[in-house]
């Protein structure tokens, strides 16, 4: 309901019923309150059972449950002044979204053993059968309002648009997507407050020159709290990763896995001089990351365009936009994962030193074995000088080999440090600020070849400010790490990544033709776009990795047209060809991918449709419609963290979607129809990502299955 209120009373009501017990109800009404005031109000309710089944919880999932209202008031006290007030509220409360198993890696045998049966529907994401420990939830409130004031001064028109919006989201997800309780919580409490103000003045002169001048202010505040915690099965699962043979061969996998972790706790505690130091502390249920992020984004822009009618058929347009964007952001992330906080290099160095001393003292004493702690103590007391040499030699060997996996066996455990300590910002090295500014511009020439055909050419530059990484994959830049370490800010296992992506700058050349005839219409555009510093955003399964490409370019051709060959029949076609590539992307999250095609961009996409309307003698109309959409095969993601590039390259998406409807429209305002979407039940993955803490496994979100139903509508 985007149309402004009307001074004539009217409205509509619509109801739909479909498979999966889908029920949708919509309604709106508009009319006058007085001679100069009109209103409109509308609402919608949309619910549906889930189309997927959780075989562990015994319930359907991926349901739909949402509703909303929207109201408007229009004040027009004079012919020159118009004030339009809009307010809306939407609520979503759904269990969403399932992820199917795309590739079953070696860890599936472990999760199966822990649950005593299937933990995933292996390699079958389109069965819509999943196994989870709790329902993933989405509770979202979205509400706001706006006020638009238009004032007509004759040759000039003034417009002011003020808007405010709030989004509140509470979500939680069983993010391991298995029947084993690995991730007991992956929740988010998100709040977004946005205020915008826009002013415009436009001219309507009789002469050849007209202009638009405006300003825009943007203020957004984000408060985000995340929690990811180990579930009850993570401890035995970690034990199985450490010693899979011992766990998988045991009749009680959970007990065997717990025993392996208990042995590791005792071993590491013993190296540090207290075997009981870490008893019961590795991979505890409820441990994980407590995260808090804040962002304030304040931006303004000044923009304008000038149109110059060189002749009756030729118009030149020049535009410019200056943008200033400032962001301040902070993190407060605390890891309670004890094992992830261990310095396995340092502990391994201690173990190597201890073993070197025990070996050397044993040899000097002629024991033919490692010396015991008591024997080492006695040797040190009896021969302090010799013991000093032994200790120094062992320490030197340990220092030289602490990062050698063949000598330091603890290094093999580093992949189990899933949630390491976090360096928060702002700090002495990272201020947690961005400050960007840019002047972009455009030049356009449009020429009317005939009264029905227009051609144009455009050159434009564009700008996108820095993007901030508000996720648990927010890590210092590699270039900042030496300064962080030398400044004493380093924490154990501090990795590198990105806090934010730098700005993008784009240039676009476009040439086009537009035609409008009595029985046909077409638009054709040919363009070349180049983006310096293209902002890449990779979903890693639990967070995001941001990076800037050196350059990304796209050559494209777009066509859309329609034709009415006979009365009542309308045919349409929209097609796009895109040749996109990374000209330079040396430092992507997956290495140098220069020369490759960016993921998710199909080379060819098109949609074709036809509508036939037959009108009976009494005015009743029968309307048949069919449309088909296609996207050529495309690599779904750039790569998958921890997996060979070939895995991601072989996982592609091809979209084929056939929709149809048949409607009978009576002349009293009543309409009845049947419809179907994705009638061929085409299946594709919308996105894929590495399964959380399950090396070698890949998860993905499957497309929706076929839906169909009936709709009744009444307009008055």
pLDDT, tens digit (0-9, with 9 covering 90-100), for 315-354: 999 999 999 999 999 999 999 999 999 999 999 999 999 9
Q: Are 421 and 355 in contact (CB under 8 A)?
A: no
Residue stretches of the chain with pLDDT short of 50: none
Q: What is the pLDDT of residue 569?
A: 98
Per-position DSSP letters for 128-187, written without gaps between them: -EE--SS--EEEEEEEEEEEEEEEE-SSEEEEEEEEEEEEEEEEE--TT-SSS-SEEEEE
Q: What is the pLDDT of residue 589?
A: 83
User: What phi and psi values does residue 111 have, to the nearest 5 degrees?
Assistant: -65, -35
Q: Which tokens hold the place of 650?
A: 């072989």
Give the C-alpha separation, 672 to 334, whole Å.
57
The model's pTM is 0.92
Beta strand pairing call for 64-75 and 37-48: antiparallel
State which H helix or E strand residue 317 sits in: strand 314-331
Give the C-alpha separation, 682 to 704, whole Å.
9
Give the C-alpha separation, 204 to 169, whole Å.
45
Q: Running DSSP on this structure, what letter comes out for residue 410? A: G
Give the C-alpha separation, 53 to 95, whole Å.
12
Phi-psi region of 488 (alpha: psi -120 to 50; beta: other; left: phi over 0): left
Q: What is the pLDDT of residue 541?
A: 63
Give the C-alpha separation, 329 to 567, whole Å.
60
Q: What is the pLDDT of residue 641?
A: 82
3-state secondary structure at position 664? strand
Q: Running DSSP on this structure, what letter comes out for residue 262? A: H
β-partners of residue 458 are: 444, 510
Of 372, 537, 382, 375, which Cα lies nearest the Cα of 466? 537
Give the C-alpha separation, 467 to 283, whole Å.
33
User: What phi and psi values does residue 709 have, to the nearest 5 degrees?
Assistant: 180, -170
Q: What is the pLDDT of residue 1?
A: 62
Give the C-alpha separation, 188 to 470, whole Å.
12
Of 11, 164, 8, 29, which Cα lies nearest the Cα of 86? 164
């Amino acid at each position: 309901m985007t149309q402004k209120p009307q001074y004539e009373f009217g409205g509509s009501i619509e109801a739909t019923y479909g498979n999966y017990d889908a029920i949708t109800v919509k309604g709106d009404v508009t009319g006058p309150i007085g001679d100069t005031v009109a209103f409109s109000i509308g609402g919608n309710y949309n619910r549906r059972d889930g189309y997927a089944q959780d075989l562990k919880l015994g319930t359907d999932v991926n349901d739909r449950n949402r509703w909303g209202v929207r109201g408007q008031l229009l004040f027009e006290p004079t012919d020159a002044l118009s004030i339009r007030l809009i307010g809306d509220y939407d609520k979503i409360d759904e269990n969403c979204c399932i992820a199917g198993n795309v590739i079953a890696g070696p860890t599936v045998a472990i999760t199966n053993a822990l649950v005593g049966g299937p933990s995933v529907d292996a390699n079958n994401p389109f069965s819509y059968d999943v196994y989870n420990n709790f329902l993933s939830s989405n509770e979202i409130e979205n509400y706001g309002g706006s006020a638009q004031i238009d004032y007509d001064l004759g040759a000039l028109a003034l417009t002011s648009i003020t808007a405010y919006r709030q989004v509140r989201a509470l979500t939680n997800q069983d993010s391991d997507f298995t029947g084993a309780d690995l991730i007991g919580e992956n929740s988010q409490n998100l709040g977004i407050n946005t205020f915008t103000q826009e002013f415009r003045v436009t001219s309507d002169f009789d002469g050849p020159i007209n202009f638009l001048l405006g300003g825009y202010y943007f203020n957004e505040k984000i408060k985000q709290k995340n929690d990811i915690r180990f579930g009850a099965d993570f401890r035995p699962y970690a034990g199985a990763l450490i010693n899979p043979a011992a766990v998988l061969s045991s009749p009680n996998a959970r007990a065997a896995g717990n025993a392996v972790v208990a042995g590791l706790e005792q071993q590491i505690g013993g190296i540090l001089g207290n075997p009981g130091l870490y008893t019961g502390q590795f991979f505890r249920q409820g441990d994980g990351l407590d995260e808090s992020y804040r962002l304030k984004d304040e931006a303004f822009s000044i923009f304008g365009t000038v149109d110059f009618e060189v002749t009756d058929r030729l118009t030149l347009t020049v535009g410019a936009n200056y943008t200033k964007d400032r962001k301040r952001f902070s993190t407060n992330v605390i890891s309670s994962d004890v094992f992830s906080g261990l310095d396995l290099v340092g502990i391994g160095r201690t173990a190597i030193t201890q073993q070197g001393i025990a070996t050397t003292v044993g040899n000097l004493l002629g024991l033919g074995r490692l010396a015991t702690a008591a024997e080492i103590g006695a040797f040190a007391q009896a021969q302090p000088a010799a013991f000093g040499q032994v200790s120094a030699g062992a320490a030197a060997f340990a220092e030289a080999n602490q990062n050698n996996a063949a000598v330091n066996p603890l290094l093999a455990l580093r992949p189990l440090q899933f949630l390491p300590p976090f360096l928060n910002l702002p700090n002495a090295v990272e201020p947690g600020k961005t400050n960007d500014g840019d002047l972009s511009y455009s030049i356009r020439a449009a020429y009317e070849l005939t009264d029905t055909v227009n051609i144009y050419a455009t050159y434009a530059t564009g700008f996108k400010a820095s993007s901030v990484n508000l996720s648990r994959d927010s890590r210092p830049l590699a270039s900042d790490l030496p300064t962080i370490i030398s400044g004493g800010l380093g924490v154990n296992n501090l990795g590198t990544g990105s806090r934010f992506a730098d700005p993008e700058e784009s240039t676009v050349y476009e040439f086009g033709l537009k035609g409008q005839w009595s029985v046909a219409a077409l638009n054709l555009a040919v363009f070349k776009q180049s983006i310096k510093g293209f902002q890449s955003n990779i979903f890693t399964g639990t967070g995001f990795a941001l990076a800037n490409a050196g350059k990304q370019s796209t050559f494209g051709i777009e066509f859309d047209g329609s034709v009415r060959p006979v009365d009542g029949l309308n045919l349409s076609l929209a097609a796009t060809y895109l040749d996109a590539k990374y000209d330079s992307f040396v430092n992507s999250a997956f290495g140098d991918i220069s020369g490759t095609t960016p993921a998710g961009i199909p080379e060819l996409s098109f949609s074709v449709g036809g509508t036939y309307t037959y009108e009976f003698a009494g005015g009743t109309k029968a309307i048949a419609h069919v449309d088909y959409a296609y996207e050529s095969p495309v690599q779904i993601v750039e790569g998958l963290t921890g997996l060979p590039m070939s895995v991601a390259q072989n996982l592609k998406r091809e979209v084929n979607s056939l929709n149809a409807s048949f409607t009978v429209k009576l002349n009293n305002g009543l309409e009845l129809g049947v419809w179907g979407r994705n009638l061929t039940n085409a299946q594709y993955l919308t996105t894929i990502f590495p399964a959380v803490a399950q090396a070698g496994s890949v998860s993905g979100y499957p497309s929706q299955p076929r839906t169909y139903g009936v709709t009744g509508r009444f307009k008055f």
